[in-house]
Every structure is written in C-alpha cells, then in structure tokens.
Structure 1
Amino acid sequence: MHPPQILASGFIIIILIGTILLTTPMASVDGRSVPFVDALFTATSAMCLTGLVVVDTATTYSVFGQMVIMLLIQIGGLGFMTMSTLFALVLKKRISLRERLILQEALNQNSMEGIVRLIRKIIIYSLSIEFVAFVLLTLRWSVDFPFAEAVYFGMFHAISLFNNAGFDLFGGVSGRFSGLALFTNDPIVSIIAMALIILGGIGFIVMSDLMEYKKRKRLLLHTKVVLFTSAVLIVGGAVVIFTFEFTNPATLGPLNGGSKVLASFFHAVSPRSGGVSTLDVGSFRQATQFFLIILMFIGASPGSTGGGIKTTTFAILIGAMIAMVRGKDDIVMFRHRLAKDRIYKAITLTLFALVIVIISAMVLSTTENHQFLMILFEVTSAFGTVGLSMGLTPELSTIGKIIISFLMFLGRLGPLTLAYALNPKKEKELFRYPEGKITIG
C-alpha cells in the first residue's frame, strides 16, 4: 500500500473502533445503545476534528463515551502515525523508511529530511500547550464548578480547542447544543479558547520555526505567509462581523462595547476550524453567515489540526491574481518566487474543493427540507472540519448524516491525498502536444 492509502485506511479503522465503543451501553447516559449512524457520525466528527454533532455530547454520552471522544480527538489531532511514532520512540524502536514516507504524507512535507525530529517537536509542543491550557481553564472554572468537575472540563476542552475539534461539555449546564454561550462576556475563557484555536491552526511547522527563531534569526517563507494571511483573515473577519452584527438584537446588539469586540474576534477565529461559538450562529444575518462560509472554506494552515483549502492556498490564489493584473510572470511573496507546481496544486485543490462542496450541497438540498444557505453552511463546515452549525445537523436524515460524515473524513484527510490514495501511480509522459491558445475573458 502507498502512504496515502495507509493514511486513509488508518483513519477508517480508528473511526470504526470509536463507533463500536460509542454504541456500547456504558457509553451513553441512559445505558441504552446510541444508534449506529449517530455513533459513526460522532466518531468521524471527533477523529476528523470537526465538532458537528447530531446528539448533544454532554447530555447523551457518559463519562466513558466522552473519554472515547476525547481520545479520538487527540489521535486525530496528532495523527495516528504521530502517535505510533511516539510509542516507537518510547520503546526506542527504529523508524523505518516506509514509516518516514507515511509521516511525510501525513504532515504534508516536501521531503523526509528531519521528519522524526519534527515529530518529536510536534508531540512536545502539543502536550505542553494542552497542559498549560488545562491548568488555566481548570483554575478559571473552579470558581463556578466543583473542583473535580473543573479539572475534567479543563482537560476535555484544552484538548478539544487546541485540536480545533469543536466539542464541548456545557450542554448539561447552559442547554443542549449551546456551545460556549455561557462565556460570551468572559474574556478569560474567550482569549484562552482563541489562543488555542490559533496555535492549533497555524500548523506545527510554523510553531517549530517560531521556537527556533532565536537561534536561526530568520523565518521560513511558509511561516511568513501563514502568519500574515492568518492575521489578515482574523482582523478583517472581526471587522466584517462587527460591522454586520453591530445592531443585530439576537447577536452583538445587547452586548457592551468590549464584549462586542471580543465576540467579533472570537467568531473570526472560530470559523478557521475551531468550531465553537459564544453566539447563536443561526441568528447571524445572512451576509455574516455567507462570510463565515468563506472563512470556513479557506480554513487553517498546512500541517495543522484544521481543514479547508488552507491559508497558503488562498494566499497563492490572491498572489496569482495580483501578478496577472500587474502583468507579471511570477508570483513573488516576501522576495521569493513561487514554483509553478505550487500554483498548479493550489488551483487544483481549490477547484477540487469547490466541486465537492457544490455537489454535496446540491445533493443535500434534495434530501433535506431546509434553506439552501443553511445546507451550504453545514456542508462547508463539514468539509472544512470546522464544526459550526446553523442548527441543521441534529435534524439530518440518515442519508444526510452519511454524506456529512464522508465530507468530514474527506476534509480531514484532504481531497488530493484521497485522490492519490485511489490512483497513486504517476506515469511519465513520453511526448508533448503542440501549444495552443484559447481566448479567456
């Protein structure tokens, strides 16, 4: 099997194991088995770090079920190959060439050089960030909840937020499917959540590069593009949301000035793959909802826990447009010229993603009796592994649940990786056709 095939198979096997565990009676609060399709949907959402749910996590699943979900999130975030490498390093086993190839594919790297060293850094950074967040959230929630419950909430949400999974356990406190609505005016919880989503979404390559900046005194081009694009999307997104929702009585309207700014930034960060919300997304104005669809489609950055077409792909497309308008042959970013194959890959990935989202939305519009914007929002959220919902997910039909589950799987694995898994062979062309010209525009 080729590396993409192994990755796809590994994800499927772990999802099926998680599904079986979630269907056991001890995984539910009432002691009755959760329907197989609902358990499959939840396991896929957890493993693919999405956060869309057909049943409320806190009121449906027992502590055992929630622990299964948390474990699936951790495996999905680090990657099952990274977890395997962790055990191999602990047991002092040698990482084979084949395993390095799979890790290269899983982390979307261009070469195998330093791949094991990068894995070590990923494990250390991830666990360190999660532990710090766990301590901070536990201290904050110990004010409102019993200490044991605060510890449990802190652990679950630190893992969920850093891995951009979007699962929460406050359905039993503030109402089913309420998300983090209880903390709309809480700057501590909101800032910690945003920091975790951003750190999980910028990618392990960027974190590693930033940690080594003092020693190297320079940043990779990839890091510069990711940080610049992410900053523009977050700040620009917050301004757009603040502008459209400022007078909306169902969202920002009742909040004071500081809370309005905080909530605007929170919902500019969350669509990048975070999947949690402090406001009711279904109550946003349609213009804002469509803008969130755009942010979800772009998603996080390569080598991260997030989905979407990625910030670098979006940056390349904007760079190509600017270069074409200016009459330039090359796309230049931070005084570096981009290779043609990067541009072709960005265009292919974007068109691939657009086709998948459009076809899925068309199919769901025939199986689900809801507004098209709501369906498009849900489809994009699933494909971008975001987890935000306008309320459609709990009302999905069985066919709709299966389609959304496949979209979450496809969005996490990556459409190009899945395409390579189905047809991995590359044939070298022995000849080239003569060049032709067609009119554009």
Structure 2
Amino acid sequence: MQEILDAILADQLDAVGSLPVPEHYRGITVHADEAEMFSGMPTRDKDPRKSLHLDEVATPELGPGEALVAVMASAINYNTVWTSIFEPVSTFGFLRRYGRVSPLTKRHDLPYHVVGSDLAGVVVRTGPGVNAWKPGDRVVAHCLSVELESPDGHSDTMMDSEQRIWGFETNFGGLAELALVKSNQLMPKPAHLTWEEAASPGLVNSTAYRQLVSRNGACMKQGDVVLIWGASGGLGSYATQFALNGGAIPICVVSSPAKAEICRQMGAELIIDRSADGYRFWKDEHTQDPTEWKRFGSRIRELTGGEDPDIVFEHPGRETFGASVYVARRGGTIVTCASTSGFEHSYDNRYLWMNLKRIIGSHFANYRESFEANRLVDKGMVHPTVSKVYPLAETGQAAMDVHTNSHQGKIGVLALAPREGLGVTDPGKRERHLRGINRFRGV
C-alpha cells in the first residue's frame, strides 16, 4: 500500500497501474461471531466503538466489470451505524444472500464485513470489460450495486431485483485502504475538493437528490414549500441546498441554535428549533399527541404566511411521521428515505386519504441521479458539509458521533490520506467556493 500511496501523493498516477496490488489491506469490519453482542440492550446504549474493528483483510479477486480503488478518504453514514449495532438485522444475512447469486458474488460471504458506502480515491486496477476507467483515475463512488440481469431495473436501476447498497449489503466497502466496486459506481472526483470533502457527499447527496428533485421522488418545483427534518444533518444539509438552488422555500427543522445558524448560513430563512419550542409528538412510548401536530402546523403557517408544506422531506421516521402526514398540504407529498428514530410508523390515515396526500418511498438513487448530484458538487452549486474528520483507526468514535447525533453535516474518515487538505487539483476553483466548502467546519 505504501508504494501506491507514495505514487498518489507524488502525483505520479500513471505509475499506479504498474505497482503491485497488496495481498492484504486494512479495513473497518464487523465480525459475524459478535452479531449478538448487544442483544437485549436499548438501541441508544449500543456502542459502535465496541463492534467496529480495524483489521488486516485479504484483497478480493477482481472480477469482470469491477474496479479496485485505493481509498484516500471515506465518510460515515447511518447505514454504518446500523451495521455496527446489528440493527434492524445483522448485515451478514445480506452477505449470505448476495453470495448465492453467482460464483463471483460468493466472495462477499465472509465471517467479516468490510463496511462503508462512500469513497474518494484512485483506481488501482480494472477488471475485464471496463473501458470507461483506468488505473490512475481520480474518482468518487456512489453506492448502488446492481446486477441488471432481469428487466425490472432497465428503466430505473433502483428497481433491479438484485439492487443492493455497496458496503452495507455487499462486502469490501469504503472504510478501508482498498475497496472493490463495480465500475459503473465510479464518477469523476471534483477537482476543487480535498479527498475527505469529495468522499462525503456520495450517499446522502444522491439520496437527497432523488428524494426531493428527481421525477422518481417528490419532483420539487420552484415555489414549493419544503419542510426538511434535520436540516443541518447529513441528509438535510443537502436537501436544504437543493431546495434553495431550485427556487423552493425550505422550512428547516433543527434541534439547537447552532444548527439553526448553519441553516441561515446556507441561505434558509424559515427555521424551527424544535427543542426551543418544546415539541413532543408522543405523550408516551405508545401514544402520539395530535395537539402537538396542530401546534407544529400552526408554527409552519406563521412562518409561511398561511401556507402548508407542498413536500415533507422525511427521514427520522417513527418520532416525526405522524406530524409529517398531518402538516403536509392538501394534495401534498411526504417522501421518506429512512427511519433513524424507528422503523414502525403510525399516523392518522384520515389526514392522508381525505386530503389526497401521497407518501413516496425513496431509496438511494440510480446512476443517472447520482451522476447529476455529483455534477452539481463539481460545479460548486452544492457543497460538501464536512464538519469533522477522523483517522481510519478512530472510525468507531466517528460512528458513535453519528449514533448519538452529536455531529453536524457529515463526518469524514481518512483512509490512506495521511492528513486533511490533500487532493485538490484546481485551487482557483476552490478559492471561489471556499466559504461554502468550509461552512460546516468546526461546528
């Protein structure tokens, strides 16, 4: 790995393809024999620092249509938290099922799982049939893994019957020194960003793009009022940028004055600090409080001059979903991509059917949507939201920060990169966008 890293740091990328690929590399793993380690514990008490390991693992065989990437940096997503606490299920079930698809996918069915669904790095090798990429290319990766052998995915690859999230439902993910990806996951690295900045948008940026902008999601238009839960977080920070860029009117829901200030710096004007206002949508573990939905809806109308949200950007899930369905306007859309506070949602269906509202399920993004989202980052129209960066050896703490929601935006992880700030090849472009790039730093 050191020879490869030296060539990358010296900008001798043409030499990368001729250097030997190591037989082993360091990666962040969970172990199958520890899948029950948190059994019986409340979710909040499960500690990723105990389950995420930095291990030496064998370099996988490179197959047709695949690429091996030297990972300079990666990032933490909530799926890594789920993997680390073995909720809602152990990911080893995913690996076993994937391993049954073909002799080639059998490589993924191992007693350890190398995790991570983001990366920025340099292509080291490509397998047979790869023509668009070559060793030495600077790349980022989206996390959609598809087989496309059935007709289902050929109008929208997210509909493929063998659709999976790389590094979550497959092995050899991005929180490592090397990663194995399908070549159709690769996209050009934005030249004005550092490795850690370029790695951070991938999953959440593409997810927010499909969920909010794409015709496969809410199909947001100019003037739409968009309620965004967790507007300063990993997903919400990109949704806020897309709303502002697209001429919509974001209502940013946050949980502290510091998070509210971040939203103002992004350009949002309508902000609800749910902690300061004391919203409690559940009376107890089993009973929601519709009076709080109504109070929340009244606050939204105060901010908008009497308008309800055209779109509700949902991802907290159980805690907020009843309120989301209630506050959406007549004929409005609730689009959901996650359930970080719980997977079992309940809401009053009268407010849905009698007011002709729609609930849309949205999951990651197809290649085209991911490419468009990355293009906006490359053009400086959407900026990374990195607030903090950890070394690979401290990935457990990085995941813990996300698990406890004690972070802002995205948390980056340095893999091969020896320090922050490396990888910029267009400093002039960077200078023009530096304020936006650094907006979340140190918060």
The interval holding the TM-score normalised by the smaller chain is under 0.3
TM-score when scaled to structure 1?
Answer: 0.25
Higher-strand-fraction structure: 2
Structure with the larger helix share: 1
TM-score (norm 2): 0.25
